[in-house]
Amino acid sequence: MSTPNNTTPATTQAAPQTATQTATQPALTPYPTSTPSPDIEAMLAQMTLEQKIGQVMVIGFDGPETDNGLLEMIEDYHVGGVILFARNVESPRQVATLTNALQSTAAESDHPGLLIAIDQEGGRVARLTESKGFTEFPSAMALTATGDVENARRVAQAMATEMRAVGINTDFAPDLDVNNNPANPVIGIRSFSSEPGLVAQYGVAFVEGLQDGGVLAFGKHFPGHGDTSVDSHVSLPLVPHERARLEAVEFVPFKAAMGANVAGIMSAHVTFPAIDATPGLAATLSSKVLTDLLREELGYGGLLVTDSLEMGALAGYPVPVVAATALQAGADLLLFNRDHTLHRAAFREIQTWIEDGRIPEVRLNEAVRRVLQAKARFGLLSPEPVDVTVAEAACGTPGTRALSRTIAEQSITLIHTGSPAALPLAPGSKMLVVEVPAANGLGRELDVPFIVVDEQPTRAQRQSALSMARDGRTVIVAVADASRFSEQVALVEAFVKTSSPVIVVAIRTPYDLAVMPAQATLLATYGLNPPTLEALLRVLQGEVLPQGQLPVTFAE
C-alpha cells in the first residue's frame, strides 16, 4: 500500500498549562553553543577527576523513595543524573517529592543539578501511566496515522507539562528509527513510520514540543534500529546495508533532529559493518560511529547518551568495561539500570582507564562540558524545586486526557473493508470477540461474549471459538504478532470460512494485517493503551468512523 499523505483531520484540542508551569520553563539558548561558556569552563576547571566521572553517569534505582545507596551515589560519587522507571512511580505527588529530594541532595553536596530522566514515548513505552495519575498518549506510529504533524507537537508539549510538574527534566524520546522491517521485535509502533521523511517530520515536531516545554529530548537509536529482526535487549542485531542506503534511510531523521537542536542522541546497541567493520562491535562502543561519524562528519555538538549498558546486546563484556569503552569511543552520558554495586564498579573502572591513559582526560572533559552546557541551557545547574501541592492537579487533567482520546480516535485505521464489509456496525449488532492476552480485555470492555486464546492458539481453542460464532454475529479477532504466530492467521481463516463478518484488529503492529485473508475487515490501532482502547471501542460500537492513514508500506 502507498505511503499516507499529510492531509489534516479535525483540529484537536491543545493541552492546557498552568501558570506555575509556564513561569518555571527556562528560556532556551541556542544549541549547540559555538564557543564554550566562560562560566562552564570555570566550573569544569574547579572539578576533581571524581566529580567529572560522576557527571557522565545516569543511574537507576529501586523503589519510590531515596535510599542510602542512592544518596551515596549522588553525594560521594557525584552522579550527573538518575533515570526513573515504572518501579519508581506511584503518583504525581510522590514523584514530585522524590525528584525534589534528589535535587536537594545534589545541591547540598555542592553538585550541579541532576538530569532526571525517563522513557516516555507514548504507546507501550510509558512509565507515567493513567493508573498512577498521569495521561497516556497513543504511540508514535499512531500519531503519524492521524496525518497531522501538529499532533506530535501537541502530545510532546502535554507530556512535557506533566513531566516538568513532577520534576522530570529529560525524556529519552522520540524514537527516530525508520521501522521498515516488519519482523522488528522491539521498535515497531515506537517508530513514526517506515518512511524516512515522515519519521523526520514527526520526530522534529516531537522534539520541539518537548523542548519548548523545558524537557531535554533525546532521539534514538543512532544510527538506526528500525531494520533489525533482533531485540537488542536480548542479543546484538546487525544492519548489513551499505553506506549509501544508510544515508538515504536511517540517517535522515537523526540529521533532521540535529538540525532542530535536539538536546541529545541515544546510541544503538547494533553493529553497522558499513561504518565500523570490527566484528560484533555495537555502535555504542565504536569511535567510528560516535566520534568519526556523529561528531566529526555530521557535526553534532549535543549530548550523546548510551542505551542501557546492561542490555543483552552487550552481554559479552563486563558492564564496567562497557561503560569505560563507550566513554572512550565518544559517549557523554553512560546509562545504567539498578544495582549501586555495579555503578561503583563502573566508576572505578573509568577512573582506572583515565589514570592509565586509555581514556585521555581531555575526552572526559569534552563529555562533562557538554553535560554542563545542557544543564545550563535548560536551567538545571541550580533547579528550583517543584510545587508538590500542585503536582496532582497538573497531571491527568480533563483537557489533556481529552487530547489523547481525540488523537487516538483520529489514528484508528481501516486498512481493508472486507467481504462482507463489517464496518460500520449497526446499533445493537451481535458480536463475538476472540482475543490474545495482549488485548487488555477488549471483549469485557465491549460487554459481549468473548474467548481468550493463546498467542499460538491451540486446536481446542480454535474449535471453542468457532462454536461460539452463531446467529450472524460479527466476529472480532484481536491479534498481536500474528506474523510470528501463524496459528492466529489460521484462526482468522477458519472464521472467514464460516461466512460470518470478520473484523481483524492488529493491536501491536499493522504489519500483522499483511498476512490476513482478503475477506476480513482489517483495522490497525498501533497499540492498545487506555486512550487507544477507548477509541477502538467507539469505532467497534459504531460511534465514530476510522479516520487513520497507514504510516507504513506493506510489501507487495
Domains assigned to the chain: 25-394 (3.20.20.300), 412-540 (3.40.50.1700)
- b/e for 380-400, b at 16 or more Cβ within 10 A? bbebeebbbebbbebbbbeeb
* DSSP H or E run through 439: none
Determine whether 307 is an active site residue: yes
Q: Which amino acid type is present at position 350?
A: I
Over the chain, what is the mean pLDDT?
92
Cβ within 8 Å of residue 109, ≥6 positions away: 74, 75, 78
Which residue out of 62, 212, 231, 233 is catalytically annotated?
Answer: 233
Largest CA distance in the chain: 79
For residues 442-456, give the mean pLDDT.
95
- Supply the DSSP symbol for 551: -
What values do phi and psi take at 55, rounded to 5?
Answer: -65, -20
Measured between alpha carbons, how far is 326 from 330 in angstroms, rounded to an integer? 6
Measured between alpha carbons, how far is 33 from 256 in angstroms, rounded to an integer? 18
For residues 486-504, give the mean pLDDT.
94
Give yes or no for residue 426 having a pLDDT over 80.
yes
- Predicted confidence at residue 378, as pLDDT, reads 96
- Predicted confidence at residue 440, as pLDDT, reads 81
Q: Are 257 and 265 in contact (CB under 8 A)?
A: yes
- Predicted confidence at residue 35, as pLDDT, reads 56
Higher-confidence residue: 420 or 300?
300
What values do phi and psi take at 110, rounded to 5?
Answer: 65, 40
- Predicted confidence at residue 399, as pLDDT, reads 97
**Percent with pLDDT over 70 in the chain:** 93
Give yes or no for residue 124 having a pLDDT over 90.
yes
For residues 462-472, give the mean pLDDT.
89
Measured between alpha carbons, how far is 183 from 171 in angstroms, rounded to an integer? 27
Measured between alpha carbons, how far is 159 from 153 in angstroms, rounded to an integer? 10
pLDDT, tens digit (0-9, with 9 covering 90-100), for 369-417: 999 999 999 999 999 999 999 999 999 999 999 999 999 999 999 999 9
Give yes or no for residue 7 having a pLDDT over 70.
no
Determine whether 76 is an active site residue: no
Q: Which residue is it, cell 531515596?
A: 66
- Predicted confidence at residue 458, as pLDDT, reads 96
- Predicted confidence at residue 491, as pLDDT, reads 96
Give yes or no for residue 195 having a pLDDT over 90.
yes
For residues 186-210, give the mean pLDDT.
97
pLDDT, tens digit (0-9, with 9 covering 90-100), for 93-110: 999 999 999 999 999 999
Q: Are 198 and 3 in contact (CB under 8 A)?
A: yes
Measured between alpha carbons, how far is 331 from 329 in angstroms, rounded to an integer? 6
Measured between alpha carbons, how far is 241 from 250 in angstroms, rounded to an integer? 10
Give yes or no for residue 31 having a pLDDT over 70.
no
Q: Which residue is it, cell 537488542?
A: 232
- Supply the DSSP symbol for 536: H
* Confidence class for position 23, pLDDT limits 50, 70, 90: very low
What values do phi and psi take at 108, rounded to 5?
Answer: -70, -20
- Supply the DSSP symbol for 333: B
Give yes or no for residue 200 having a pLDDT over 50.
yes
Beta-carbon-side half-sphere exposure of residue 193 (alpha carbons within 13 Å): 28
Give yes or no for residue 116 having a pLDDT over 60.
yes
Which residue out of 307, 332, 481, 512 is catalytically annotated?
Answer: 307
Give yes or no for residue 21 having a pLDDT over 60.
no
Sign of CA dihedral 57, 232, 267, 165: negative
* Confidence class for position 556, pLDDT limits 50, 70, 90: low
For residues 184-212, give the mean pLDDT.
97
Q: Cα–Cα–Cα angle for 348, 352, 353, nearest 5°?
A: 120
Give yes or no for residue 194 having a pLDDT over 50.
yes
- Predicted confidence at residue 36, as pLDDT, reads 61
For residues 320-340, give the mean pLDDT.
97
- Predicted confidence at residue 526, as pLDDT, reads 98
Measured between alpha carbons, how far is 327 from 348 in angstroms, rounded to an integer? 13
Return the minimum-mean-pLDDT range out of 15-29, 113-127, 280-294: 15-29
SS3 content of the chain, % helix, strand, coil (to 5): 45, 10, 45
- Predicted confidence at residue 30, as pLDDT, reads 44
Give yes or no for residue 541 having a pLDDT over 70.
yes
**Helix orientation angle between 459-468 and 486-497, rounded to the nearest 10 degrees:** 30
